[in-house]
Structure 1
């Protein structure tokens, strides 16, 4: 007899759980807190990029929407072996070894992508943000190559279509307010006054990033001041319900994915905008210039690594500056390399023909300190190393207390632009411990019968940072695991 599964949430992880459960023969009801327009959780706010281990183009071609794209013959995708994925995650672990969850993410990442591809979810090479043209070829960098067509909105739409084709049902405006139990087993949920019974419940309703109260309580520091980049509905409801049953807290609760965001962005990424435009409030081209705080000082090595590996940490670094803001400074030499988000109609910036005037126009910044920092930076730039944004080019600075390691060019060609940014929180890292079937573990180590989880609610996947594109892949890997386990 087939099982009946309830899934709480409707983002990428929830959809993958639903597809997997239906594939395994279960009937599935998905309950979404938001109305139809805001369904999909944080997925709709993403650029739809997914990081996974692959050996070469032969692993990518089956995933492409258009395998006949004429650009492909002049494209160098390179490879991203599992060993490199391991190294990248270890680089953000703060000395911790790879967790069991990270090992699963790495080993199952390619399979999860091909599994999605088998359900009609197709992808496109990220030419605009992950490649540079070099010697007539498109050269990809940073191990991140593919994104869903129409980014996060497209990923959600394709997954929802696959879920519906398999017979899944979704109800909107249906916030789950409690878990129903029989003894220790979870046997359903409460939606307002309605009780909905099931053989298993999968919590896939995100972290607690949209709750200022929980950010202050569980993360501390300056996180209460952060802009919320994603959905307003990820307020920790699932975590709170699971903790109430004694579920094991697991992972780094003060940790989160953050990114530099437009200082004047409204919370929740601009809900008045079409979903595909909400990411335009990100400002992640700092590697092409410098970032200055209120004292006019640099505070990070903007060229430490490809931005895929630094933006999640630099969002936190910006938030820790005086006044919780910074300014990103660029000159005209890199204007054509800045991503579209810097030309977004609602992008805030100041412009001047001289650096002196620019420093005077950066609100909240000590103009003398900023001018001195920029002069010292320009004097320290290596003139004998060529600039090459397709590689870690080693074009850095010499003699500065805080070096810029790569892509350091003098800021000397007007007009000059500066963009004000703050730290924006995307999702939290602290979550629950799961079994090898995606079941939620009690704090004493045993499985809580009937309760599963996936997505942002799985702890132990990320710690002190994350390589870009890993979050959606984690949602697919652990969503599939929970769906199969629940079914």
Structure 2
């Protein structure tokens, strides 16, 4: 018997961590000698994954290519005849990441993510048991009696992140993999100043224990739930952001690597000033997501309406792109507004297209009025400082829409494509355009929802090898023996913005690769 008790210790219980564990067993590790550690109690299992919409972005060849992935209920012939899914190619996926990341993303990591994306959802569906379905409720609009998908996303899981964690945990539990809950890793255990061979932990009873292992995987998230680190790296205003997911992602993994011997210490890489944030319900908790409502606090219906700040002014182009490509940055845009909040506004016609899961009466508080002027009066109690400016903004917007329609009568509203229905005509231009889906706000009743910024995960992280997910030391590209990383703690993939659904895919891709490499290392070590 070799001197380590475990073949693999994994920190975290989200998508990346659980995929790593499953992959390690598939690759030859003994499930009884894999240990998953989390600082949270079992009731908070799942990390940020639990709070997601469980969308996986993958390249594919169209609907027929995905039918083997989704549940049988999705393959009803009559239903399929009404569904349109355009192929999403590898080049499109890569282009989306680089376009939204201003070309700064690590090419090797992006290439691996994209190349593995189709295979990983097949593995999750067929080998792991994840119950995929077509995301008609979030990613498709009914246009002329047909469900038309948009924004490059097609796949999700029943009951979102809750359902995904249920499926992953079932597989891990069935394999016999062990867990230690409410246990905090305090230090990486290093042998001969060269090899990571385990962790020191603080147990629930306060005792300190050294757990030896051939490999350690950091899959314990970023620092989004740590207000001090948010202020240090993102800016002081980020103290006021609402935590969208787990309160346990406090950046503990970064402290572990920061305390490594100098010869092993990795450089932190990627966009340490950036994060994924979204428009979030103002009335949500500031410090943690809701285990019940999870992703329902997201307020992503802004492409169908307007977003107006406390001074009565618009501050973003609500129709700049599909929601999948703007929501990760519009939370930040909202946080920088006076008071750190804003109002989303629709008329009766547009409100009918809002998703009930985000805007239902049991989910969010809506202000409703019979006129724009009355709406402004009511919103004054919610923090609107300039009622006249609010009314003027909507009136000016309506005028711009009307002028555009007169100049471009062939443009028609279609939320499933970037329809070009805008506000900028030769005779009238708004200071901030609405580039697509611009329709007049004119049919009562008018409604509004107060929003703020919900922070999801941070972009800066650890450098990893694109093939093995091994953590690199220094800036020389050498891999630290025995240390791996996957999920939100990995840096240099997303910069500034990201295409929705690619985070879960990345976590699964690099988690699976880490598990494979660990299986190979264990096989070599224990021959």
Residue range with higher mean Cα deviation, 19-28 or 337-346 = 337-346
Post-superposition CA distance 1:274-333 (Å, at most 9, x none): 2xx221111110011100111111111000111011000111100111111110010001
Counting matched residue pairs gives 484
Q: Is the aligned partner of 1:336 residue 2:352?
A: yes
Deviation of the 1:344 alpha carbon: 4.3
**Match in the other structure for 1:443:** 474
Match for residue 75 of structure 2 among 61, 68, 75? 68
Equivalent pair of 2:97/2:105 in contact (CA under 8 Å): no
Post-superposition CA distance 1:83-121 (Å, at most 9, x none): 111221122112436532112111111111111122211
**Match in the other structure for 1:185:** 195
Mapped partners of 1:151, 1:344: distance in 2: 20
Match for residue 13 of structure 2 among 10, 13, 35? 10
Instruction: Give the 5 Å matches for 1:151-300.
Output: 151-182=160-191, 183-192=193-202, 193-245=208-260, 246-271=265-290, 273-274=291-292, 277-300=293-316
Equivalent pair of 1:396/1:403 in contact (CA under 8 Å): yes
Residue range with higher mean Cα deviation, 174-183 or 372-381 = 174-183
Mapped partners of 2:131, 2:68: distance in 1: 9
Equivalent pair of 1:89/1:98 in contact (CA under 8 Å): no
Q: Is the aligned partner of 1:409 residue 2:439?
A: yes
Q: Is the aligned partner of 1:393 residue 2:404?
A: no
Q: Is the aligned partner of 1:350 residue 2:353?
A: no
1:64 and 1:187, CA in 2 relative to 1: closer, same or farther beyond 3 A? same
Task: For structure 1, list consecutive stretches of 5 or more residues without a partner in the other structure.
Answer: none
What is the Cα-based RMSD across aligned positions, in Å? Answer: 1.6
1:444 and 1:410, CA in 2 relative to 1: closer, same or farther beyond 3 A? closer
Deviation of the 1:388 alpha carbon: 1.0
Equivalent pair of 2:246/2:289 in contact (CA under 8 Å): no
Deviation of the 1:149 alpha carbon: 2.0
Mapped partners of 1:172, 1:63: distance in 2: 33
* Structure with larger Rg: 2
The DSSP-based 3-state class of the residue aligned with 1:249 is coil
Deviation of the 1:154 alpha carbon: 1.0
**Match in the other structure for 1:373:** 393
The DSSP-based 3-state class of the residue aligned with 2:185 is coil
Mapped partners of 2:339, 2:256: distance in 1: 35
Task: For structure 2, list consecutive stretches of 5 or more residues without a partner in the other structure.
Answer: 203-207, 520-527
Match for residue 360 of structure 1 among 358, 374, 377? 377
**Match in the other structure for 1:455:** 487
Post-superposition CA distance 1:176-200 (Å, at most 9, x none): 2221111221111122112111110
